[in-house]
Amino acid sequence: MFSGGIAKLLEAIDEQHLANIRLFTDDALKLLVKLPDASLDAAYLLYPDPWPKTRHHKRRFVSPTTLGELARVLKPGAVFRFATDIEDYANWTLAHILRAPAFRFAPARPGIWHEPYPGWQPTRYEHKARLEGRTVSFYFEFERV
């Protein structure tokens, strides 16, 4: 767990007097399995750890197991948004989604996945990637069918 990031988040929640935020600082899959069926309107996975070494790919969040749980907890028609600047992880995610019958990938036009979502606020990881010269990001949107 990144305690500095959690502390900054808690500070922002306190400063903005937000009462509708809950934090879960463990593996998100543990939370997903506890949620009721069709209980979420949307899910976002923004700049997850890419686990770039092949031997670590099993640690990536996107997997048949997590996609199955996401499909279960997302309402029909809900969106799952995934953003990354790592092309390998983008390809990995797309390949897994295309094999998951509960999700549909239907971009409005070719290349739209390189355009940020409407109202997008860049993450600090996106900013860091641009500073490191990684200028191509992927903003996938998948629909729960």
19 occurs within a structural domain: no
Residue 137 CA to residue 83 CA, distance in Å, equals 7
Residue 8 CA to residue 2 CA, distance in Å, equals 10
7 occurs within a structural domain: no
Question: What's the total number of domains in the chain?
Answer: 1
Residue 72 CA to residue 102 CA, distance in Å, equals 9
20 occurs within a structural domain: no
Residue 144 CA to residue 37 CA, distance in Å, equals 13
89 occurs within a structural domain: yes
139 occurs within a structural domain: yes
Tell me, what CATH number does 44's domain have? 3.40.50.150
Tell me which residue range forms the domain holding 76.
25-144
Q: Is 85 a catalytic residue?
A: no
Q: Which residues pair with 46 in a beta bridge?
A: 83
Asked whether residue 1 carries a pLDDT value surpassing 80, the answer given is no
97 occurs within a structural domain: yes
Judge contact between 83 and 47, C-beta under 8 A. yes
Exactly one of 27, 37, 41, 49 is catalytic; which is it?
Answer: 49
Q: For 57-110, what is each residue's pLDDT tens digit?
A: 999 999 999 999 999 999 999 999 999 999 999 999 999 999 999 999 999 999
Q: For 8-46, what is each residue's pLDDT tens digit?
A: 999 999 999 999 998 998 999 999 999 999 999 999 999
